[in-house]
């Protein structure tokens, strides 16, 4: 959708401008890597994640090579890299399957650093390869980001933020697909949550209903492809068969979406909300990467923390509680790199440190000076902060 496309471009431009203004101090006593920085990233944020990273890496003095994501983003990335190349910025974009290109982009001795954004399975294979080679790496991987509700009463604030959590159809690394809710507050939570989800607008980003409004205001469009939509629909059906309770399922009629006449809608999945997915379901412990929310009810703080830490580490989490002391006591026990108090956390950049716990991250942390340090060489013996086998800097 137009709004999200604009946001992706604006974040890339604003972020790179900040680095241009601050790069001199960050490069003091530092030199570029001896070989190019290699980038393999998911398709969902072609500008604000991939092009942003490439431009900062080049600003730090490196040649940069990137693989166009297999599932999308080629048009956007081709245009962005062509504009950069026209201005003499040393960016190279290649297209092809991971099987064809990974050997060159990960294992080639000429590569100075590998930067990866994607799933844990591929990330684990890359992590093994770069560890064996002793190569610089930044590997951002998936995690089940959770939103906890404990002794909370500001339901208006929660209801207002729920639609924003569905940006990109929750196809992003900092989406919140899991709500862990105090059982005694479940009725109040549903009263705030369900109207917000029911009001979401889904459809084709260019389906014009009103000539005076040529770009429809949508919350999200299709998933990356029909196979992903089918996979999630199958997981939802399987979870329900095994005992999950469906609280919200849209898409039963054409009125539920905003589509072109006769359009193929196989890549679309309307929002789904399930209560208590069974432990045997992937929706219980893994990030769905789509508009499927799950809710888990808990009675004690210990259960709250256990449910919020269901996956081996996460990038972000949020705890909504009225008592600041409760937040200060529980937040450090949540296995996410960034934890918000009643507000969502984002990837961020610039001076804000970013990384992940557990299986959600491998290698150097990024943000501001740390992003530049990850792709440059400093004093002999320098240790980069990050998730490495023998070293970890707490945020």
State the pLDDT at residue 329.
Answer: 97
- At 59 the pLDDT is 97
* pLDDT of amino acid 80: 96
**Which 3 state secondary structure label does DSSP give 258?**
strand
Q: In terms of pLDDT, which residue wins out, 150 or 208?
A: 150
With a CB cutoff of 8 Å and minimum separation 6, the contacts of 217 are: 1, 3, 201
- Tell me the C-alpha distance between 370 and 115, whole Å: 14
Give the whole-number percent of the chain exceeding pLDDT 90: 73
Non-local (6+) Cβ contacts of 385 within 8 A are 364, 365, 370, 391, 393
Mean pLDDT in residue range 3-10: 90
Q: What is the pLDDT of residues 359-387, one digit of tens each?
A: 899 999 999 999 999 999 999 888 899 98
pLDDT of residue 124: 87
- 393 CB-contact burial (10 Å; exposed 0-12 / middle 13-18 / buried 19+): middle
Strands (E), 144-186: 146-149, 178-182
Give the pLDDT score at 97. Answer: 83
d(CA 143, CA 314) in angstroms, rounded, equals: 4
Sign for the pseudo-dihedral over CA of 122, 127, 132, 137: positive
Residue 279 CA to residue 162 CA, distance in Å, equals 25
What pLDDT score does 324 carry?
97
Q: Supply the Cα-derived Rg of the chain in whole angstroms.
A: 21
Query: 213 versus 195: which is more confidently predicted?
Result: 195
Contacts of 132 (CB under 8 A, 6+ apart): none
The pLDDT score that the predictor gives to residue 251 is: 67
Task: Give the per-residue pLDDT at 395.
Answer: 38
- Cβ atoms < 10 Å from Cβ of 278: 15
Lowest mean pLDDT, pick from 28-42, 168-182, 204-218, 290-304: 204-218
C-alpha pair distances (Å), 260 with each of 215, 250, 266, 287, 347: 13, 18, 13, 30, 34
* Ranges 134-138, 214-218, 246-250, 324-328: which has the least confidence: 214-218
Query: Of the candidates 337, 336, 331, which has an alpha carbon nearest to the alpha carbon of residue 366?
Result: 337
Per DSSP bridges, beta strands 37-41 and 113-118 are: parallel
Average pLDDT over every residue of 157-165: 96
| Both structure tokens of 48 | 């604000």
Sheet of strand 178-182, all strands in order from the earlier edge strand to the far edge: 245-249, 272-275, 292-298, 178-182, 146-149, 314-320, 336-341
Tokens describing residue 32: 């570029």
Residue 394 has pLDDT above 50, yes or no: no
Q: What percent of the chain has pLDDT over 70?
A: 95
* Contact indicator for 37, 64 with CB cutoff of 8 Å: yes
Does pLDDT of 238 surpass 50?
yes
Q: Given this model, what pLDDT does residue 393 score?
A: 41
Q: What is the pLDDT of residues 116-134, one digit of tens each?
A: 998 888 888 898 888 888 8
Is residue 291 a contact partner of residue 253, using CB atoms and an 8 Å limit?
Answer: no
Per-residue pLDDT for 254 more than 60?
A: no
Name all contacts of 70-74 with Cβ < 8 Å and 24+ positions apart.
Answer: 70/43, 70/97, 70/98, 71/43, 71/224, 71/225, 72/43, 72/46, 72/224, 73/43, 73/46
Q: What is the pLDDT, as a whole number, of residue 122?
A: 86
Contact partners, residue 214, CB within 8 Å, separation at least 6: 208
Between 45 and 212, residue with greater pLDDT: 45
> Which pLDDT value is given to residue 349?
76
**Helix (H) and strand (E) counts for the chain?**
12, 16
* pLDDT on residue 314: 94
pLDDT at 252 > cutoff 80 = no
Local structure of 187: helix, strand or coil? helix
Q: Which domains does the chain have, with CATH numbers?
A: 2-142+356-387 (3.40.605.10), 146-310+314-341 (3.40.309.10)
């Amino acid at each position: 959708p137009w709004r999200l496309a604009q946001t992706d471009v604006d974040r890339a431009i604003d972020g790179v401008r900040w680095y241009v203004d601050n790069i001199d101090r960050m490069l003091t006593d530092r030199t570029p890597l001896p070989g190019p920085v290699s980038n393999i990233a998911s398709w969902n944020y072609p500008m604000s994640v991939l092009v942003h990273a490439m431009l900062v890496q080049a600003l730090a003095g490196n040649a940069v090579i990137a693989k166009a994501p297999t599932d999308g983003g080629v048009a956007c990335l081709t245009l962005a890299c062509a504009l950069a190349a026209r201005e003499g910025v040393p960016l190279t974009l290649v297209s092809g399957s991971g099987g064809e290109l990974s050997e060159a982009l990960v294992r080639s001795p000429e590569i100075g650093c590998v930067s990866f954004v994607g799933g844990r399975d591929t990330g684990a294979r890359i992590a093994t390869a770069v560890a064996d080679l002793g190569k610089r790496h930044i590997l951002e991987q998936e995690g089940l980001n959770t939103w906890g509700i404990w002794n909370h009463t500001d339901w208006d604030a929660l209801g207002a933020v729920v639609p924003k959590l569905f940006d990109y159809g929750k196809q992003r690394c900092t989406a919140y697909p899991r709500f862990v809710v105090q059982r005694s507050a479940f009725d109040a939570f549903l009263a705030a949550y369900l109207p917000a989800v029911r009001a979401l607008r889904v459809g084709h980003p260019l389906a014009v209903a009103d000539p005076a409004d040529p770009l429809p205001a949508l919350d999200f469009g299709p998933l990356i492809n029909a196979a992903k939509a089918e996979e999630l629909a199958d997981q939802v059906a399987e979870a329900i068969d095994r005992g999950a309770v469906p609280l919200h399922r849209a898409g039963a009629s054409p009125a539920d979406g905003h589509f072109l006449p006769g359009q193929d809608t196989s890549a679309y999945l309307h929002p789904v909300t399930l209560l208590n997915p069974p432990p045997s379901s992937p929706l219980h412990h893994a990030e769905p990467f789509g508009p499927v929310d799950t809710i888990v009810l808990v009675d004690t703080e210990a259960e709250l923390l256990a449910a919020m830490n269901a996956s081996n580490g996460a990038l972000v989490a949020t705890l909504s509680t009225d008592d600041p002391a409760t937040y200060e006591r529980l937040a450090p026990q949540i296995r996410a790199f960034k934890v918000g108090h009643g507000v969502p956390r984002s990837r961020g950049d610039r001076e804000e440190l970013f990384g992940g716990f557990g299986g959600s991250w491998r290698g150097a942390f990024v943000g501001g000076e740390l992003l530049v340090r990850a792709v440059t060489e400093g004093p002999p013996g320098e240790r980069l902060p990050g998730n490495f086998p023998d070293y970890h800097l707490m945020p």
